[in-house]
Amino acid sequence: MYNAKEIESKWQKIWEDGSFYEPSDDFSKEKKYILSMFPYPSGRIHMGHVRNYAIGDALARYYRKKGFNVLHPLGFDSFGMPAENAAIKHSIHPRKWTYENIDYMKKELYSLGFSFSKKRLLATSDAIYTKFEQEIFSKMYEAGLIYTKKAQVNWCEHDKTVLANEQVEDGKCWRCGNEVVQKSMDGYYVKITQYAQELLDSLEELKDKWPSQVLTMQENWIGKSKGCEFKVKIKELDKEFSVFTTRADTIFGLSYFALAPENDIVKEVLNTNLIDEKAKEEIIKLQNQSTRTRQQSEKIGINLNIHAIHPLTNEPLPVWVANFVLADYGSGAVMAVPAHDERDYEFASKYNLNIKKVIECENLPFTNDGILINSNEFNGLNSSKARDEIISLLSKKNIGKEVINYKLRDWGISRQRYWGAPIPIINCKNCGKLLEKQLPVLLPDDVSITGEGNPLEKHHSFKKCKCPKCNADASRETDTMDTFFQSSWYFARFASNPLNWDKCAIDKEANYWMNVDEYIGGIEHAILHLLYARFFQKALRDLGYLKYDEPFAKLLTQGMVLKDGSKMSKSKGNIVDPDEIISKYGADTARLFILFAAPPQKELEWNDSALEGAFRFINRLYDRALTLNVCSFDDINHSALAKEDKYARLKVYEALKKADDVFTKTYAFNTIIAACMEALNALNNAKDNKVLSEGFAIILNILEPIIPHVCSELSKELFDCANNKNYEIKEEVFISDELKLGVSINGKNRAEFIVAASATEEEIIAKAKEVGAKWLEQKQIVKEIYVLNKLVNIVVK
C-alpha cells in the first residue's frame, strides 16, 4: 500500500544527505537558473506558495535531469511592516517573530520536497545581507543615484508617525482614526528616472519571453509622452507658470488653466486678498490630502480669481486649482481643453466653464486626433501635423519647446520604521550628510515598539555618533530602507558563491549564473518589484558588479489560487492549509493537484474532489507498478507486438514527446500529466513485459519533476536506479501499419482516407482521386503531387 509519509520522509532525507540540490561549480556546463520569487515570512505557507514553488521545482528538476547545472535557491524577504505590527499587537520582538516564522516555513517548504539549495538560503534581514546592501547603497549614493529631497508623507499627528499608504484608511490613521495630513519631510530617493529610457528600450529584449500584459504594464508605468511645454503670463500678478501638454493641436480650445494644489502660483495667491478665507481653507484642505485620496474623490476645484494669457490669442483665461492635477508630473499645471479631454470636460461641466470645440467631431468630449477647426491658420490640418506646426510656432516665439515626459518618478526609499535596513548615513551639522565608514550599521535590539513614532528615533544611543570627518557630535540617520530595496538584488546574491558571501555583495560567479532563466511569481509584482529589479540590474552593471542588462530572461506569472470564486485569504476565511493536505495525502498529491488543476498562468479553483483524484492516481500508479514483472527493454521489436502493446507504446511516447515542449515552452503541466494518465490507462491493456517495463520507466521519468518522491521510490524499486536518463524518442512507435492521408484540391483540404503503409505512390494517387471524385467532376487534372505520408495534392482547371 502506498504510504506517502514514509516514502516522502525517506527521500527527503536521501536528497538532503546527498546534497543533490547544490549546483556544481563546473562552469563549463550549461546552466539554468530557476527562481521562484522569495516569500515574505508571514508565518505559514499558503496554497499560492505551493503553486509558485511547485512550478519552479518542476522546472529545476527537469533541467537537472537534462544534464544542466541548475541553481534553484530559496530565501526570505524578511524585513517589513508585518513584523512590527506583530510586535505592537503581541509584544513579540520583530526579529524573534521573523526568524521563528522562517524556521517554521522552511520546514513546511522542505516537507513538500522542493529541491532548493540549502547552502544559499538567506534572509534579507541577516546582518551580512544588510552589510552589503548598505555597501550598494553607498556606491549608489556616491554615484549620485541616490539623493535626498523634501517630499510629502502621510502623517498622523496623534501617533506622531509616518504612515504607509496601506495604513491610511479613508484618509484616517488605521490605529487611532485621526485625520491623516501630508507633511513635508526629507527623504532618500533612488534616481530610477535616469534609466527611464533604457528601462523602456530593453523591454524589446523581453518580447515573447515575458507575458505581454506585464510588458504593457511596465511600459505604461514608465509612461513616456512626447509633448510641449510653454509658459503663460498672469494678468494680476507679475508671475508666469509653465504647462505641459501632449495635445498642442488643441491649443485654440483652451478655456481655463488648472493648477496642482502644490503649484507655486497657488502658494502665491494664498498670500493675497484675491480669494476669500473660505476658498483658502478649501485649498489648504486639498494640500493636506494625499495624491491617492485626491484621485479617488470627485473632481474638486477652487477659482483663484486670476487670469493667464493665452499664448497665441492673448485672451485672458481663468486659472483654477484642481485636485486632479498632479504636483509632480509635467509642470504641475494643465491647459484645460474640455471639448477634447475627459477630466477637463467633467470639471468644466461641474463649474460651468467654457467648452470650445476645435477638432471636427459629433459628440463631446472627443479625445481622438482629427481635423482642426476654430483654430485660425491651422484649420484643416490633421492633429499630428498641427502639433508639429504649433510647437514650432511656440518655440519660434520663444514661449515653448518640445519636451519628453515620463510618468515614472524617482523611487522614495525612506521608511520611518524599525524593522528594515538602516540607511548608512551620518548627519553632521558642520559637514552635512556623510556615508558611514563602518558597515554594517545594525538595528539595536532593545527598542520598544508601540506604533508611536520611529523606535530608532527614540532609542537611547542609536542616533549618537561622531562625524567621521570633523569628529563633532553627529547623529545617525534613523530612516530604514524600503523592503523593495532588498528584493531588487537578492537574485544576484544567490548567484554568488555562498563561500564569498561574507567577502563581497556579488562575486564573479554571478556572471555565470545570471540572468535568471526562469523567474516565477505573482502578477501582483508585475510593476514595482520587476521595475526596481530591472533598474538595479542596470545600475549594478554600471557600478561594475554585474554584466547583464536584464535580470530575468523569462518570466512566468502564475494565476491566483481561488476558493469559491475568490482569492484564498485569512480575512475571507477560505484558506486551505497546505500542512493539512500534506499530512492527509502527502506532498506528491499536493504537487500533482496544483499542477494538474489548471495551466500555471491561469487562476486555479480549489476542488476537493480533484485533490482526491490526484491522490487516487498516485495510488494506482504505485499499486500497478509494484505488480510489474520488470525486465530489460532495450530490444523491443515493435512491429512484432500485439495491437494493445503497440498502442500503449504509442501513448507512452506521445507523452514523452510532449514533455520537452511543456517544460521548456508552454508550462502546460496539466497536459503532460493528462498524457501520462492516458498512457497509464493504455498500459493497463498491455501484456508484453518489455513494453510495460519501458512504459513505467518513461512515465516515472516524465513525472519525477512533478511528483518526485513516489517516482524516485518506484524507480529505485523497479529499476534499481535513479531513472534520470534521457529517453530518446523512438520514431518506429509512431509509424503505424496504416497511413492516414489528406486529399487537397487546388490547395484546399477536401477529404481524408486510409491506405496500407505498404501502398505504392500510384495506388495512393488512384485512391485519392476516388475519394475526391466529387470535386473533380468536369474538371481537368493538371497535376498530382504526393506529399510523403501527408497528403495528395491535385491541381485542376
In whole angstroms, the minimum distance from the beta carbon of 424 to ligand ANZ comes to 35
**If DSSP codes are grouped into helix, strand and coil, which group holds residue 610?**
helix
Q: Does 341 bind ligand ANZ (CB under 6 A)?
A: yes
Distance CA 202, CA 451 (A): 42
Closest separation between CB of residue 550 and ligand ANZ, Å? 26
Interface with ligand ANZ (CB under 6 A), residue from 111, 245, 414, 744: 245
Strand order in the sheet with 791-796: 748-756, 738-745, 791-796, 781-787
Peptide bond preceding 365 in cis form (omega within 30 of 0): yes
Please indicate if the annotation marks 239 as binding a ligand: no
Cα–Cα dist 789/791, whole Å: 7
Binding-site size, ligand ANZ (CB under 6 A)? 18
- How many of the other CB atoms lie within 10 Å of CB of 272? 13
Which of Zn ion, ligand ANZ, none does residue 467 bind (CB under 5 to 8 Å by kind)? Zn ion
Smallest gap from Cβ 257 to ligand ANZ, in A, equals 10
Closer residue to Zn ion, CB minimum distance, 472 or 773: 472
Q: Which of residues 739-778 bind ligand ANZ (CB under 6 A)?
A: none
| Cell of residue 515, nine digits | 540572468
Which residues neighbour 609 within 8 Å (Cβ) at sequence distance 6 or greater?
Answer: none
Applying CB under 6 A, does 263 fall inside the site for ligand ANZ? no
Residue placing its CB nearer to ligand ANZ in the complex, 340 or 525: 340
Closer of 375 and 558 to ligand ANZ (Cβ):
375
**Does the bond joining 178 to the residue before it have cis omega, within 30 degrees of 0?**
no
C-beta closer to ligand ANZ: residue 368 or 760: 368
Query: Does residue 431 bind Zn ion (CB under 5 A)?
Result: yes
Bridge partners (DSSP) listed for residue 280: none
Residue 791 three-state SS: strand
Residue 779 near residue 795, CB atoms below 8 Å: no
430, 450, 569, 789: residue in contact with Zn ion (rule CB under 5 A): 430
250 interface partner picked from Zn ion, ligand ANZ, none, CB below 5 to 8 A per type: ligand ANZ
454 CB neighbour count, 10 Å cutoff: 19
464 by Cβ neighbours in 10 Å (0-12 / 13-18 / 19+) ranks as exposed
**Residues 468-507 within binding reach of Zn ion (CB under 5 A):** 469-470, 472
470 binds, among ligand ANZ, Zn ion, none (CB under 5 to 8 A by kind): Zn ion
> What x-and-dash track marks residues 397-436 binding ligand ANZ by CB under 6 A?
--------x-------------------------------
Beta carbons of 224 and 296 less than 8 angstroms apart = no
Residue 244 near ligand ANZ by CB under 6 A:
yes
CB of 138: closest distance to Zn ion in angstroms? 17
**Helices 47-65 and 587-596 meet at what angle, rounded to 10?**
90
In the complex, the smallest distance separating the C-beta of residue 415 from ligand ANZ, rounded to whole angstroms, is 26
Task: State the minimum distance, in angstroms, from the CB of residue 31 to ligand ANZ.
Answer: 42
**Angle between helices 689-703 and 608-626 in degrees, nearest 10:** 140
Give the end-to-end CA distance of the chain in Å, rounded to a whole number: 69
For ligand ANZ, the binding residue among 61, 340, 357, 415 (CB under 6 A) is 340
Closest CA to 336 of 373, 372, 299, 281: 299
Q: Which does 130 bind (CB under 5 to 8 A by kind): Zn ion, ligand ANZ, none?
A: none
Our CB check for ligand ANZ shows the closer of 266 and 733 to be: 266
Check residue 216 for interaction with Zn ion (CB under 5 A). no
Candidates 37-45, 82-90, 241-249, 691-699: pick the segment binding ligand ANZ (CB under 6 A): 241-249
Note if the bond before 440 is cis, omega within 30 degrees: yes
Q: Is 83 helix (H, G, I), strand (E, B) or coil?
A: helix
When the beta carbons of 326 and 435 are compared against ligand ANZ, the nearer one is 326
Query: Taking the complex as a whole, how short is the minimal distance between the CB of residue 226 and ligand ANZ, in angstroms?
Result: 9
Q: Per CB under 6 A, does 655 bind ligand ANZ?
A: no
Does position 751 interact with Zn ion (CB under 5 A)? The reply is: no
Residues 695 and 654: beta-carbon distance below 8 Å: no
**3-state SS string for 303-371:** EEEEEEECCCCCCEEEEEEECCCCCCCCCCEEEECHHHCHHHHHHHHHHCCCCCCCECCCCCCCCCCCE
Among 337-345, 506-514, 539-547, 659-667, the segment contacting ligand ANZ (CB under 6 A): 337-345
The rounded distance, in Å, linking the Cα atoms of 771 and 219 is 55
DSSP at 422: B
Q: CB under 5 to 8 A by kind: which of Zn ion, ligand ANZ, none does 426 bind?
A: none
Q: Which residues are registered as beta bridge partners of 309?
A: 316
435 part of the interface to Zn ion, by CB under 5 A: no
Among 9, 42, 202, 225, binds ligand ANZ (CB under 6 A): 225
467 binds Zn ion (CB under 5 A): yes
As measured in angstroms, the least distance from the Cβ of 382 to ligand ANZ is: 14
The 3-class secondary structure across 548-565, one letter per residue, is: CCCCECCEEEECCEEECC
Let me know if 667 is exposed, middle or buried by CB neighbors in 10 A (0-12, 13-18, 19+): buried
Which part of the chain contacts Zn ion (CB under 5 A), choosing from 212-220, 421-429, 506-514, 698-706? 421-429
CA–CA distance from 424 to each of 439, 454, 579 (Å)? 8, 17, 41
Residues for the chain: how many in total?
797
Select the binding partner of residue 341 from Zn ion, ligand ANZ, none (C-beta < 5 to 8 A, by kind): ligand ANZ
Q: How far is the CB of 402 from ligand ANZ (least distance, A)?
A: 13
Question: Residues 73, 330, 420, 578: which binds ligand ANZ (CB under 6 A)?
Answer: 330
- Pick from 226, 206, 202, 224: which is nearest to 214 by CA? 206
Assign residue 733 a region: left if phi > 0, alpha if psi is -120 to 50, beta otherwise?
Answer: alpha
**Span interacting with ligand ANZ, options 138-146, 243-251, 373-381, 728-736, rule CB under 6 A:** 243-251
CB 49 within 8 A of CB 708: no
Please say which residue, 61 or 340, places its beta carbon nearer to ligand ANZ: 340
Q: What minimum distance in Å lies between the beta carbon of 438 and Zn ion? A: 16
466 interacts with Zn ion by CB under 5 A: no
In the list Zn ion, ligand ANZ, none, the entry touching 431 (Cβ below 5 to 8 angstroms by class) is: Zn ion
Set of cell numbers at residue 298: 470627485
Using the minimum distance from each CB to Zn ion, give the nearer residue, 467 or 679. Answer: 467
Site for Zn ion in 219-258 (CB under 5 A): none
Q: Give the span between the Cα atoms of 406 and 326, in whole angstroms.
A: 13
Residue 194 contact, options ligand ANZ, Zn ion, none, Cβ 5-8 Å cut-off depending on partner type: none
Binding residues for ATP: 570
Binding residues: 570
Query: What is the contact surface with ligand ANZ in residues (CB under 6 A)?
Result: 225, 244-247, 250, 260, 325-326, 329-330, 332, 334-335, 337, 340-341, 405
Query: What is the contact surface with Zn ion in residues (CB under 5 A)?
Result: 428, 430-431, 467, 469-470, 472
